[in-house]
Amino acid sequence: MRRTPARPLLVAAALGLGLALLTSAGAADPATDAEFKALVEQDAKVIQRAADAVEKTADPDEKKRQSRNASNGIKSAALLMATYANDRIGGADPAADGQAAAVRDQAVKIYKAGEGKKFAEAAELARGLAAAKPTGSAQKIDVLKELGEVTTKETMHNFTKTAQFGTNVEADIIAAATKKGMPKGADAALIARRVLALAEVSKAVKKGENAADKKTWDDYNAQMMKAAEELLAVSKKKATPADLTKAFGAVNARCNACHEDDKVGKNS
């Protein structure tokens, strides 16, 4: 199965050790019940907002533009949702595993609806996420195999601004790192979870046409994963604003390093 590279807005790639299944994103434990619920709710809102925007747009040219952005936003939200839901299946709690598998399977359907630009269907599936019925025997799956061809652009669209049908995470990271705005409450942990899910996907969806480029991608993502794990750890303790700024700064530094490398690659 071919993975098509694309220029990313936010780069996080992984350890690149080769994988069959999308399992745990690094050393961090899977999302807690509260985090999982919040992440699903955030992505469900992105999906519904994207679908509604297309349905409400009358001008043909604007509708075409909205459709492209909405499709990318829906697919990216569904991809990350399927990934962090799949990651929660650990075998210790059959009921929780079943619920996670139900959300994951619904997310796969949403992705495919977004890919086919079936926006009303995607919105309806997103509205049904809270009531998704657990499966009898939940097992981890290869999410990317279920979805088919995925690009880095689709993977990372979830981090773009809300106007583009993203979660605004890239802007939030920059604001926190530069002392222009700090996420409230548990939102810092949710941002870290998104970066880790992105890194998990990026183990297989790689940028680069040759071994050297892919090695660079893996190195950047290993650094990003480490920074995200540190942000997650800081967010779960009584951290000072300075601690959080430092942790967000480390994540942002990894983003900037890859962005700069990407510019050099374009100009060389």
Question: C-alpha 177: how far from its chain's center?
Answer: 20
| pLDDT at residue 266 is higher than 90 | no
Please state, in angstroms and rounded to a whole number, the distance separating the CA atoms of residues 162 and 144: 25
Proportion of the chain above pLDDT 70, given as a percent: 85
**Minimum mean pLDDT range among 75-79, 115-119, 146-150, 188-192:** 146-150
**Residue of 218 and 68 predicted with greater confidence:** 68
Residue 158's pLDDT is 96
| pLDDT at residue 162 is higher than 50 | yes
Query: What pTM, to 2 d.p., does this model score?
Result: 0.85
Encode pLDDT of 73-88 as tens digits: 999 999 999 999 999 9
Provide the pLDDT confidence category of residue 259 given band limits of 50, 70 and 90.
low
Please state, in angstroms and rounded to a whole number, the distance separating the CA atoms of residues 165 and 86: 23
Topology of 168-268 in CATH? Four Helix Bundle (Hemerythrin (Met), subunit A) (1.20.120)
Q: Where are the domains of the chain?
A: 22-137, 168-268
Task: Give me the numbers of helices (H) and strands (E) for the chain, helices first please.
Answer: 10, 0
